[in-house]
Amino acid sequence: MNDTLAARGSTVETLLQEQDYIGRVDNAFNKATIKINFWRQRMKESWIAEGDFPTKLLYTRVRVRKKKNEILTLKDQDGNWAEDQHLVKELVVDSLKEVFNYDRPISHGELDIVLRELDLPQITSIQSANLVRPFLDSEIKTAMFAMENSKSPSPDGFTTAFYKLHWNIVGDSVCAAVKSFFTIGFLLKEWNYSLLVMIPKRDITEEVGHLRPISLCNTIYKCASKCMVARMKSILLDIISQSHQAFISGRFMTHNILFSHELIEKINQRRRGQGYLASVKIDMSKAYDRVHWDFLLHIHRSFGFPSQWIQLIHQFISTISYKVLINGDTSDQFRPNCGIRQGDALSPFLFLFCMDIFSRMLQIGTDIRQFQGIKLTRGCPEISHIFFADDALLFFRAMTDSCSSVTNIVNSFCGISGQQLNLQKSHFKVSPNTPMEEQRTFKDLLGMEMFIVDKVAAKVTSWNTINLSQSQKLILINSVLIPMASHVLSCLEVPISVASKVDGIFTRFFGLKNANLIGNGRKVVACRDRWVYGQIPEYKSEVHLCNVRKWKASHFILPLHAGWNHQRINESFVFHDACRIVGMELPVEDKKDFLYWRYHVSGNFTVKTSYTMLDSEDVSQLHNDSNSELYTLLWSMDILPKWKLLFWKIFHKGLATKVNLNRRGIELPVSCDYCASEAEGHQHIFSTIWALWIARNNRVFRGDTTNITTVLVIIKEGADKQGFLKKNKDHHLSFLHPPEIISTYPPGFCRIIISNTGAEGAIDMILVDGSWHNHTRNAGMGWYLEGQQENVHRILGGAASGTTFSALHLESLACLYGLRWAVHASFHKVTILIDSQSLVEMVIKEELIDVHLLWTVPEIKMVGKTFQWCSIQKVDRCRVQRAHDIAKGASTTL
């Protein structure tokens, strides 16, 4: 339409022609507006029906990659910018032709020598016969139906979805055509015609090198290619060397990730001595596009592949023809004389054979001691190289001869394979003990110069412009963001700062917060931050949130760190949360508040808890919450995600009802618009059902008149959506929480000596214990001097009462109060006898300290060091029975 109007506009000469042209433009605009409104309405209907599910519609809505694929301008080799679309297309096509037309023939003599030295393994006669046996119709159908419906459109316009839908009509013809190719060994050139789509590698594309060519292959060709891949996969494990983990069944890329990080750590730890260690990250420029066909076919012969199989591969790679697709416009057709296609299912496996030759060349180099790999420990084998698809990591002892040998091997491989080293993306690293002069020498010999947060943040940023509901955000977190992070978290212990940033991105995107530990309380906003055991405390209904939104946690702490202000806490918070707050420990000194990882008892980030958090289906295991079973049931139900979120908000009183809005400082009448008789709160609204809630919203926000028929229609729509969810049960997502980490320390005798100055004298034994009520959290602490003498009858012991968050918290306070009492009673040598092994273990090892006891346990040590002798010993329960009786009496007085 635009081209037609533009052509007609160029012919306008008179006033009448101008008026006629304007009328045509207005008419075209009106028609386009009608079409846009029509499709917008269709889109809205689909969005309402499927937008809250992990469907293609949702992912298409949030996808922004296509917006960046348009190439508007590029810089040529001279640094001049090409802005005209014809010049841009010409620049891209010329660059591709230069890469695909390899004008430097390989040395077959040198290649033969290298392959003879490598002594490649041979496939067996059984494997060879299996490769060339006739293909069955079932294999071809399986290959076709394994492909995505329209993931990469075919140049001929027939997508995989077409063949699947009409397989009963076209299936026999497809099978006959594919089997004909496998039998005759010659491929129709029309099948091997591909469109090259240029995909930007960077956010800002300036040069042709910043574009990656991806092939859109013919569907019939892709089906035949997948059939060959299915046959080839079964033999890769036997003939590809161990340094390769990608694309091979039974091997895992994460193993190489772990090895590489261990080796890099080994290099970083070498700070002294004369033995220098080095690593080189090698990147091949346009690795797939530069593979020489003769090299590829020659190595397949050397592995013992049958000639019929090699002929099929030769047809696949040598009958290619390309057209470049740029901004919707195609170039003239051209043919390459090297390279394999990105976008072809067979290409990664063919390239695997190429890089396997490089791996074996490096292994020969270490075997004949041209250079030495690195050992992680004294008894383990040397590791000289690790491969990641088309990238390689080399590890060796840094010496002049070693660097020269590595360079020669790399150059030799590039010479026989057609590969070219990308120096800009290759990096060289040496151990810290290497002198700078030696580093320069190694760098000259090698020719080289010395990500999860950004990736996740970029993805979330791209979604910020889209209006997404929380249920849709929940789906995206589970299906997109978490897999991006778990790939690294599954095998590496990332720094706490990185994990905190990733967790912060997740929580901010969804609307959650991390947990805070209270020190002086000056940085924690009481109504916003999660400072009560990882939760935000609930204010009483009569407290206006507009008055308390600036209150800090310090508002509820007495001056001079004298403890909690019980009066303010009881006036502000509901009883349950008030009890939890007064049971929290406070430091006796001025300590700063800080964030902690609330999914581990120590408050420190661990890979295990983060991975469990991302993958666990149990919502309650990390939260000591009275409603945990209810939440577990809720998140495991097969109902709509938005219904789960609605119920979750109801439990937390988080809906924007009039009562809630009024509490948050929004001036409006709180009476219900539906009945006008009661205040519109959670209890009033949800004494009815979901459909009435929707009907209420339609009445309030849209002015709709509601009757029983409307409610029944809404109920039917909800039932239909629930049925859609049942059909797509495999895509159901649950909010994830990890299980609690349980201590694995063995039971038995346990003791720690806190202070020992060597002074002589008797040691006084002080029994300490506590009594705790789980539901009320009321606690009593008791201590008693064992074996009392006549002259100390006035100091039998003591007791205290209060509120604690756990039995362990109670035991720690009893121990602390017992030590303080001993100081006040002027004892010099004491042993605390207690029946809590967990407390003794925490005093022994700081890394075991529960984050909620972070102030109490150090204070126990601090008070204990004031004695000439002080120890804490775990004993049987019966040994501290007298102290327990005292504590029980104290707890009942609350």
Taking the C-alpha atoms of residue 572 and residue 581, their distance in angstroms, rounded to an integer, is 11
- Which token pair is 46? 């689909």
Q: What is the mean pLDDT of residues 202-207?
A: 75
Pairing of β 778-785 and β 797-803? antiparallel
783-817 pLDDT tens trace:
988 876 545 555 578 888 888 878 888 899 999 99
Rounded to 10 deg, the angle between the 219-239 and 137-145 helix axes is 100
Burial 864-886 (b: 16+ CB within 10 A, else e): beebbbbbbbbbeeebbebbbeb
Asked which of 515-519, 606-610, 743-747 is least confident by mean pLDDT, the reply is 743-747
Q: Are 775 and 789 in contact (CB under 8 A)?
A: no
For residue 489, the Cα-to-chain-centroid distance in whole angstroms is 7
Taking the C-alpha atoms of residue 143 and residue 147, their distance in angstroms, rounded to an integer, is 7
852-867 pLDDT tens trace:
787 888 889 999 999 9
Taking the C-alpha atoms of residue 132 and residue 805, their distance in angstroms, rounded to an integer, is 70
Sheet holding 751-756, edge to edge: 751-756, 869-874, 829-834, 764-772, 778-785, 797-803
Taking the C-alpha atoms of residue 762 and residue 868, their distance in angstroms, rounded to an integer, is 11
Per-domain residue ranges for the chain? 2-50, 108-446, 628-742, 751-891
Taking the C-alpha atoms of residue 306 and residue 383, their distance in angstroms, rounded to an integer, is 33
Taking the C-alpha atoms of residue 545 and residue 547, their distance in angstroms, rounded to an integer, is 5
Q: How does DSSP classify residue 306?
A: -
Distant-in-sequence, close-in-space partners of 344: CB < 8 Å, separation ≥ 6:
215, 217, 222, 225, 316
User: What is residue 599's predicted lDDT score, i.e. its pLDDT?
Assistant: 66
Q: How does DSSP classify residue 791?
A: G
Asked which of 93-107, 216-230, 408-422, 797-811 is least confident by mean pLDDT, the reply is 93-107
In order, the DSSP letters of 186-250 are ---TTTTEEEEEEEESSSS--BGGGEEEEEE--HHHHHHHHHHHHHHHHHHHHHS-TT--TT-TT
User: What is residue 555's predicted lDDT score, i.e. its pLDDT?
Assistant: 79
For residue 255, the Cα-to-chain-centroid distance in whole angstroms is 18
In order, the DSSP letters of 844-884 are H-GGG--GGGTTHHHHHHHHHTTSSEEEEEE--GGGGHHHH
Q: How does DSSP classify residue 479?
A: I
Using pLDDT thresholds of 50, 70 and 90, give the confidence band for residue 145.
very high
CA atoms within 13 A on the CB side of 743: 15
Q: Are 577 and 538 in contact (CB under 8 A)?
A: yes
Single out the residue of 640, 839, 670, 658 nearest to residue 745, CA to CA: 839
- pLDDT surpassing 70 at residue 628: no
**Any idea how long the chain is?**
894
673-704 pLDDT tens trace:
766 667 777 766 655 445 666 777 777 777 77
Comparing 514 with 177, which gets the higher pLDDT?
177
Sheet holding 193-200, edge to edge: 211-216, 193-200, 321-326, 329-330
- pLDDT surpassing 50 at residue 746: no
Using pLDDT thresholds of 50, 70 and 90, give the confidence band for residue 431.
confident
Give burial (CB, 10 Å; 0-12/13-18/19+) of 845.
exposed
Asked which of 28-32, 104-108, 675-679, 745-749 is least confident by mean pLDDT, the reply is 745-749
Distant-in-sequence, close-in-space partners of 430: CB < 8 Å, separation ≥ 6:
267, 276, 277, 278, 398, 438, 439, 442
Using pLDDT thresholds of 50, 70 and 90, give the confidence band for residue 122.
very high
Asked which of 609-623, 756-770, 792-806 is least confident by mean pLDDT, the reply is 609-623
Comparing 248 with 232, which gets the higher pLDDT?
232
Single out the residue of 669, 675, 647 nearest to residue 657, CA to CA: 669
For the chain, the average pLDDT equals 78
Q: What is the mean pLDDT of residues 142-153?
A: 84
- pLDDT surpassing 50 at residue 549: yes
Taking the C-alpha atoms of residue 758 and residue 643, their distance in angstroms, rounded to an integer, is 67
- pLDDT surpassing 80 at residue 514: no
Using pLDDT thresholds of 50, 70 and 90, give the confidence band for residue 187.
confident
- Which range has highest mean pLDDT (82-86, 276-280, 771-775)? 276-280
Q: What percent of the chain has pLDDT over 70?
A: 78
Q: What percent of the chain has pLDDT over 90?
A: 15
User: What is residue 745's predicted lDDT score, i.e. its pLDDT?
Assistant: 36
In order, the DSSP letters of 635-681 are HHS-S-HHHHHHHHHHHTT-S--HHHHHHTT-----B-TTTSSSB--
Q: What is the pTM of this model?
A: 0.54
**Beta bridge pairs of residue 870:** 755, 830
- pLDDT surpassing 60 at residue 566: yes
Q: Which CATH superfamily is domain 751-891 in?
A: Ribonuclease H-like superfamily/Ribonuclease H (3.30.420.10)
Single out the residue of 232, 215, 413, 414 nearest to residue 313, CA to CA: 232
- Which range has highest mean pLDDT (315-319, 423-427, 676-680)? 315-319
User: What is residue 125's predicted lDDT score, i.e. its pLDDT?
Assistant: 92
Side chain identity at 19, as an amino acid letter? Answer: Q
Taking the C-alpha atoms of residue 407 and residue 443, their distance in angstroms, rounded to an integer, is 11
- Which token pair is 407? 């360079």
- Which range has highest mean pLDDT (253-267, 523-537, 556-570, 861-875)? 861-875
User: What is residue 772's predicted lDDT score, i.e. its pLDDT?
Assistant: 83
H or E segment and range at residue 180: helix 167-184
